[in-house]
Amino acid sequence: MKRYATVCKLDECSKKLEQKIKKELDTFMTYDEDNPELVISVGGDGTVLYSVHKYIHQLDQVSFIGIHSGTLGFLTDYQKDEYMDLVHDIRLDEFKTYNRCLLEVKTHDETYMALNEVRLENNRRSQVLGVYINGDFFETFRGNGLCVSTASGSTAYNKSLGGAVINSGAGLMQLSEIAGIHHNAYRSLGSPLILDWTHIIHLESENFDGSILGIDTLVVDLKGAGSVDISLAKQRARFVQYKRVPYIERLKRAYLSE
């Protein structure tokens, strides 16, 4: 790959790391912010999310890789003290790629993509949501909200909601409840529901006052009545893999090692 760009978190540590990486890469690659082949995110998992959103209209042309400037990341393959390994691996130019699934999120007037998840949340009052799957009524949810995550996002917000961790390569989406109210008048499934690309989740409400739609790092206010449709997107985000880190190893490193 010849053309690269960086997307950097705004703290000093990340900026310094970015400069060191650029200095090395500029000796054999060209910095091209508009049309990069490789996008290197320098920061955290949130920076990887941001970089995918920045190049969301160029997913066919762009591959992603992340280096973490802080603690261990889940979407990043390198740590800050491994930046010369990253430079070396990029120079060698021998790599595999793998795809991460995205969600397509449609409101009445916009379409968004999500790498981690979409959250429909209301902290002001209990949110009532009609949940339809492939056009059929499924349940009425009452509570703080619902989260639909990808396999990549299963270790993020979804995990805090008690959702399952799903191997990042799987083309699945997971519907999890955010503080659901359960008693004999209000019944919703309660457990996370895992669906595939054949499903469309439709969430509707007569009142979205106070609700937000969170899409990865983006937050949109929802007002009035309306609905949101969520499904697995046709487009995927392509990530470069220079070194193989088995998924189970990644999980152990992030959550179980001291």
- Footprint of ligand NAP (CB under 6 A): 44-46, 49, 73-75, 116-117, 152-153, 155-157, 160, 216-217
Q: Nearest approach, Cβ of 165 to ligand NAP (angstroms)?
A: 9
Query: Looking at beta carbons only, is 36 or 153 nearer to ligand NAP?
Result: 153
Whether residue 161 contacts residue 176, with contact meaning beta carbons closer than 8 Å, is answered with yes
From residue 1 to residue 40, the character string flagging contacts with Mn ion as x (rule: CB under 5 A) and all else as - is: ----------------------------------------
DSSP-assigned states of every residue in 93-138: T--EEEEEEEEEEE-SS-EEEESSEEEEEESSSPEEEEEEETTEEE
Q: Nearest approach, Cβ of 75 to ligand NAP (angstroms)?
A: 5
Q: Using the rule CB under 5 A, is 46 a contact of Mn ion?
A: yes
Give the Cα separation of 40 and 8 in Å (integer): 8
Q: Tell me the backbone φ, ψ of residue 139, rounded to 5 degrees.
A: -160, 165
Q: Nearest approach, Cβ of 183 to ligand NAP (angstroms)?
A: 25
Given the residues 11, 26, 32, 45, select the one marked as catalytic.
45
Active site residue 45: yes
Q: Of Mn ion, ligand NAP, none, which one does residue 121 interact with (CB within 5 to 8 Å by kind)? A: none
| The dihedral sign for the CA sequence 57, 59, 61, 65 | positive
Instruction: Specify burial of residue 183 (Cβ count, 10 A radius: 0-12, 13-18, 19+).
Output: exposed
Residues known to be catalytic: 45
